[in-house]
A and B are shown apart, each in its own frame.
Chain A
Amino acid sequence: MPQSADKVLDHAPLFQQPEYKEMLENKKVKFECGHPDEMVKEIGDWTKSWEYREKNLAREALTVNPAKACQPLGAVFASAGYEKTMSFVHGSQGCVAYYRSHLSRHFKEPASAVSSSMTEDAAVFGGLNNMVDGLANTKALYDPKMIAVSTTCMAEVIGDDLNSFILQAKEKGSVEADFNVPYAHTPAFVGSHVDGYDNMQKGILQNFWEKAERTPNESINIIPGFDGFAVANNREIKRMLDEMGVEYTFLSDVSDVYDTPSDGEFRMYDGGTTLEAAAAALNAKATVSMQEYCSPKTLEYAASKGQEVAALHYPMGVQATDEFLMKISELTGKAIPETLKKERGRLVDALADSQAHLHGKTYAIYGDPDFVYAMARFVMEMGGEPVHCLATNGSKKWAAKMEELLATSPFGKQGKVWAGKDLWHMRSLMATEPVDMLIGNSYGKYLERDTGTPLIRLMFPIFDRHHHHRFPTWGYQGALTTLVKILDTVFDKLDQDTIIPGETDYSFDLTR
């Protein structure tokens, strides 16, 4: 009997005990009716071949292990960044359970949202009653200052009209007529979570800006975009803007609500863009998006109000941060202070110190379009080579922009861009054209297992490592975090490969 109170065996070692191994072998032989081991081996090898890769890349209907989520997730994330705002997702209720779980598993934080809980009858008659009752219940129970409404695909397919439903609910007294209920249609069958983010942002701004008069001032608005590292990245951007003495408003800031303290109080809401600030943001001189692909419609809307707009691609790395600071400087007329220049110098210093270990390393990179752009660019700044660059939610336009980027550097020469492809495609790419490192999210661990390529987790969602998102990846400081993660991976691999005593440990060097 393997188990004991003294040394409790967890699942991993427990099922490696002889009793269990024998039991599982017996189950396999007697009851499972599986395929012969040789056949499994043969097919397994075939899935890593060039022939398989061609078949795999020719897929037209099936998606396997995509790296994207659906629109409402982005809407819930965007809404969470406003002061005392409750997300109300109109449609089936299971979806909301999924968004909340997904966000909680990444941030290790509460994630609150409600559903209008539509079922069969609502599918037939529409969900107006659900909206009417739902808004009243949400207001009464959770005391929000704003309720941000988005939709699941069920409500979209039956064609529920949010504008009219919310007006009718207000007429029926669900919430006061002047209570803020911004909304966005967020069909799951169009785009991905980054589009849901964009649509909700636009919906919220429209709620405040549509009937207001703009009196331009010198302030600028920042749209951070959907970002798993938002908690630390937003704070880092604010720190840099403070150093520059810029007046700014974050449009959706989740850095407090997804990072509440443990002190005995559960804060369903914390921090976020105040509603007054959201309204006043109309007057800003400019709106700058940190992630172009998270904000096309919102920026277009801001521009239509007379603001200058600019879009970046995830300000991570040297040039991306340079561009961010120069853009802010250009828009505000404020100089980039010496302190930030010094930070830049320290980052470049670190890159120079470690360049020998970074030069020529090859990478597979996947994630949201702006992230992949920034990551590939930063990798090239290190002298690394992005070989496979993949975004399941990347468009053809994105692919063209990526190709342009790769063409700017000799390190981008062998890089290929894969828009709309998934992680099963990536498996084929990595099996046939291996790379040194994989950069992505937790789902990448399956690629790590299947191809033996070490995974660096820099993209949402990260479920199986804790607290990485509490450290910034944006700005010069953030680039250091990113750099160290990559270097640790390089050095850990080097140590792992040289750790056998008397066999490989002649290279088990103390100083590297």
Chain B
Amino acid sequence: MAKDHVNGPEDYEALIEEVLEAYPDKAKKRRAKHLTVSKATDEAPDATTGIASKCDTQKSNIKSIPGVMTVRGCAYAGSKGVVWGPVKDMVHISHGPVGCGQYSWSQRRNYYIGKTGVDSFVTMQFTTDFQEKDIVFGGDKKLEKTIDEINELFPLANGTTIQSECPIGLIGDDIEAVARKKKKETGKTVVPVRCEGFRGVSQSLGHHIANDAVRDWVFEAEESEAVKAYEPGPYDVNVIGDYNIGGDAWASRILLEEMGLNVVGNWSGDATLAEIERAPKAKLNLIHCYRSMNYICRYMEEKHGIGWMEYNFFGPTQIAASLRAIAKNFDETIQENAEKVIAKYQPLVDEVIAKFRPRLEGKSVMLYVGGLRPRHVVTAYDDLGMVIAGTGYEFAHNDDYKRTGHYVKEGTLIYDDVTGYELEKFIEKIRPDLVGSGIKEKYPVQKMGIPFRQMHSWDYSGPYHGYDGFAIFARDMDLAINNPVWGMYDAPWDTPAIAAE
């Protein structure tokens, strides 16, 4: 394998072997289990995508290897950064040293409407800013005082959450006792979250712990006024796992409302505590990011008898299929409305595809993201005629890889918890027309002369959900790939080196 570039999927197995050669034996053995090529399967193809492949032959959701430059984050990132952080009318305390809250401050682009610092607090950084004495003597007293000061200075905050950083669990603080005490004193919700960064192997456990905290400290608490005042209706749904990045949840909500559904709660982008509290009264939970919030949906199903279904609002094919699938849970009116919504937006879809597909047809894409996106966005690329060469997840579990088989064809390169080294080599050898990943990957890839879009933050663009979002998505992929800058990397006076075969 001394070729500069691989020709296609037939070379991927050999490429994996070649990349693994760089590792010491122990690490090589462990990493080999995370890199595969999707295989043929006997399973029936997915009804919407027409695809079936086998992607779950590899290991996932296990510890990263030290020293390899994993892209993964931590449980705190999963709880504060993903699940709780967007709840806008609560103050989320980064409990511990200053860094965690500082680096994650305002970086997820969870859009919301509100007066920041008065009745909304998403783009603020609240921390107990631990000092050495807090580590030595414990931080519970400081935490209590912190909550008191929050209540005094931010009287319209409807509650607080305590997002534990690494030291909290190591020094034996009892944040649950503090939470109970403060709740009793003030009547306001206080949620302790044990999302210390060393717990688990990635962000994923943080999602789970955050979901459990919703269960234990919001659902299990006595009914709030907001819940008591609420009259449930037959068309009430919750949107679960849409963090409103660049306005995603709004571009989705508009479609559900046009169908005649009531979105009681949007978890958790632009959400208020009341939207969390009232969720168990809805008829159906619609899950977008399965990975980060399936836990609480399973709980609501068990405890409150609310069904849940996954849907996908990336790209018109999946949007239409999802709208129909959602409508099936309701009466004929809603089903007719779904058809009307699809028909209403069809001209926009046609326009977008007519304009951008010719510019993107056949372009290859490699993805490396988290949550739902390594599979969910695939069909949006399909709608534009683009081809997925490889995809992978930072923190998926086996059930995510199972689902991936409904989205990517046989012969797709699959990488789990990819290391900086592996991803660079894969990209270098495959040389896709576009890479979609995160900020840490953006600049290395662009230096190589390959167009890139951040697919966590939408590269400061978005929304990408819904029909309105699809137009932006298509435009963004076009502007990334078809910019003149990629043609200027070589100085004209240098003769391009001819690669030795």
Contact = CB atoms under 8 A, between A and B. Distances in A.
Interface of A: 1-6, 8-11, 14-15, 19-20, 23-24, 26-28, 30-35, 39-40, 43-44, 47, 52, 55-56, 59-66, 68-70, 72-73, 88, 91-95, 97-102, 104-105, 108-120, 122-123, 129-131, 133-138, 140-142, 152-154, 157-158, 187-190, 192, 260-268, 424, 427, 443, 446, 449-450
B272 interface: yes
Given A138-B67, A152-B166, A188-B99, A63 B127 contact: yes
Contact of A5 (B134, B226, B274, B348): B348
Contacts of A142: 69, 420-421
A317 B257 CA distance: 58
A443 B439 contact: no
A154 B130 contact: no
Contact of A260 (B24, B447, B461): B447
B448 A265 contact: yes
Interface stretch (B71-79, B283-291, B375-383): B71-79
A97 B68 contact: no
Contacts of A109: 443
Given A94-B203, A101-B439, 8 more contacts: A11-B246, A32-B275, A34-B272, A61-B148, A93-B197, A95-B99, A101-B107, A108-B443
B153 A88 contact: no
B447 A267 contact: yes
B11 interface: no
Nearest to A39: B156
Contacts of A266: 424, 444-445, 447-448
A19 B351 CA distance: 21
B449 A264 contact: yes
Interface residues of B, number: 130
Contacts of B115: 40, 44
Nearest to B488: A262
B96 A153 contact: yes
Contacts, number: 352
A97 B135 contact: no
A61 B439 contact: no
B171 A263 contact: no
B67 A134 contact: yes
A8 B447 contact: no
Contact of B449 (A9, A26, A40, A262): A262
B262 to A, nearest CB: 8
B297 to A, nearest CB: 19
Nearest to B456: A101
Contacts of A157: 135, 166-167, 170-171
B66 interface: yes
B400 interface: no
A129 B22 CA distance: 20
Given A33-B272, A131-B66, A188-B97, A119 B198 contact: yes
A69 B166 contact: no
A31 B440 contact: no
15 contacts: A2-B468, A9-B472, A31-B274, A65-B105, A95-B100, A99-B103, A112-B69, A117-B66, A119-B199, A137-B27, A137-B68, A263-B449, A264-B490, A268-B444, A446-B116
A68 B102 contact: yes
Nearest to B200: A119
B73 A97 contact: yes
Nearest to A24: B113
B119 A40 contact: yes
Nearest to B438: A101
B100 A31 contact: no
B472 A10 contact: yes
